[in-house]
Chain A
Amino acid sequence: MSSTAQAMLALARRDLKAALRRWGELGLPLMFFVIVVTLFPLGLAPERDLLGSIGPGVLWVAALLASLLALEGLFRSDMEDGSMEQLILSPQPLVLLALVKALTHWVLTGLPLVVLTPLVAQAFYLPANATWILMLALLLATPTLSLIGALAAALTASLRRGAGILGILVLPLALPLLVFGARATDLAVQGQSAAGPLYLLAALLALAMTLAPLAIAAALRISVD
């Protein structure tokens, strides 16, 4: 195994370990997701037709906001204890380390969200096949969201009050994910093929995987300077 791959694995292992030791924080975005989703039927009316038609959109907006919640801490501890300096100074390509950090973040926040979705989807009476499509769409969209979010988190990492700006930066960039994701779910609810928007989500993921780490690495260098 090459030393770069070894270092990338070591970084993933370290981040996962550190996150699991603070597992209380991990659950918060998920709880937020569940609570936001349950607020909608309470705020509207528990009518099946209404909930069925707004469900896909609500689930996507809630997922977007929940993942925003977890972003702030992505580089915070590394910045505070000086690990970020060591990551930047290491002989490993920072672009790959940035990719590892974003994907580890996805494993800790995006993936649980995907797993939780079938439960939450029941609140909106989503049919079973639509739930599968929703999960698939989230599986494709949440890593992209983690990458976009990691970029915004890297840009704001050295700011003391970065959280407010984070939302302003992430949400416009995440708009295509919302459009395609909600559309895929909508099509599935209507019993049509959702392949089109799913392909588009996959394309966005491929694009984000290649370009976002470059931008994240550049942003981290700026933040640490």
Chain B
Amino acid sequence: MLEISDLAVARGNRALLEGFTLRLAPGDLALITGPNGAGKTSLLRVVAGLSQPAAGVVRWQARALLPGDPEYSQTRIYLGHQAGLQADLSVMENLRFLIELQNSEFRCEELAVCLGDLGLAGAEHVAVRALSAGQRRRVALARLQLTQASLWLLDEPLTNLDADGQALIAAWLGAHLRAGGIAMIASHAPLASSAPGRCVQVELGT
């Protein structure tokens, strides 16, 4: 259960959000839309714990979040604009590091299957430098499958993805929600989810 109450988010001297309140139960999806500069990224960063809110609290499982909360860190996954992949390392080295960092267990077979789904079969040992922007995005998204996070915080996950990639992410999202996960996604493009749960449309900047 994710509860955001009376959240105020500011960037520099400018208030982006005030009195923002949202409750997400297992299986819920929050789709955050709005024009550029409306505060979609800032909101996700606050919920992730990267930025401090100007006011208000974020609660996870009824506990207010403090910076660096280890339990919360293990259950949420945040994918921002940048993929978080080191260009000089290979796909496998990058993912293995990120997954071990998350305290999840890394399995080579699992990675091979996941990369196959992503259309990157056999790319384990390719340096990230050699991948296209869309391929890098796919590698970053592989973490969604390889860790057992129950809260997904995704900032424009569909950027640079082709139609196949977008369909795949929608399918993953559906499975995640059906399994009782929660997702908060900032996106320009509508993300069709086949999940049975609630889909909250949050329009910022209006």
Binding site for B on A (CB under 8 A): 3, 6-7, 10-11, 13-14, 17-18, 21-22, 77, 80-83, 85-94, 221, 224-225
Bound CA span A7–B98, Å: 9
Name B77-102 residues within 8 Å CB distance of A.
78, 80-89, 93, 96-98, 100-102
Binding site for A on B (CB under 8 A): 48-52, 67-68, 70-71, 73-74, 76, 78, 80-89, 93, 96-98, 100-103
Collect the chain B residues with CB atoms within 8 Å of residue A87's CB. 101
- B contact face: mostly helix, strand, loop, or mixed: loop
The verdict on A81 contacting B82 (CB below 8 Å), with A10-B101, A89-B49, A225-B50 known, is yes
Bound CA span A85–B101, Å: 12
Bound CA span A17–B203, Å: 44
Given contacts A3-B103, A83-B85, A89-B76, 8 further A-B pairs with CB under 8 A are A6-B100, A77-B86, A81-B82, A82-B80, A88-B49, A91-B70, A91-B103, A92-B103
- Closest residue of chain A to B105, judged by CB? A3
Task: Kindly identify which residue among B67, B82, B87, B101 contacts A7, using a CB–CB cutoff of 8 Å.
Answer: B101
Bound CA span A21–B89, Å: 8
Collect the chain A residues with CB atoms within 8 Å of residue B80's CB. 82, 85
The verdict on A92 contacting B101 (CB below 8 Å), with A17-B89, A221-B67, A225-B51 known, is yes
Question: Are A10 and B50 within 8 A (Cβ)?
Answer: no
The verdict on A7 contacting B88 (CB below 8 Å), with A82-B80, A85-B78, A225-B52 known, is no
Question: Are A86 and B52 within 8 A (Cβ)?
Answer: no
Bound CA span A224–B78, Å: 14
Collect the chain A residues with CB atoms within 8 Å of residue B81's CB. 82
Task: Kindly identify which residue among A14, A81, A92, A225 contacts B93, using a CB–CB cutoff of 8 Å.
Answer: A14
Question: Are B78 and A18 within 8 A (Cβ)?
Answer: no
Collect the chain A residues with CB atoms within 8 Å of residue B86's CB. 14, 18, 77, 81, 83
Question: Are A22 and B88 within 8 A (Cβ)?
Answer: yes
Bound CA span A224–B81, Å: 13
- 21 A-B contact pairs sorted by A residue (CB < 8 Å): A11-B101, A14-B86, A18-B89, A81-B82, A82-B81, A82-B82, A82-B85, A83-B84, A83-B85, A85-B50, A86-B84, A86-B98, A86-B101, A90-B73, A90-B102, A91-B73, A92-B103, A93-B70, A224-B50, A225-B50, A225-B51
Collect the chain B residues with CB atoms within 8 Å of residue A11's CB. 97, 101
Collect the chain B residues with CB atoms within 8 Å of residue A93's CB. 68, 70
Collect the chain A residues with CB atoms within 8 Å of residue B103's CB. 3, 7, 91-92
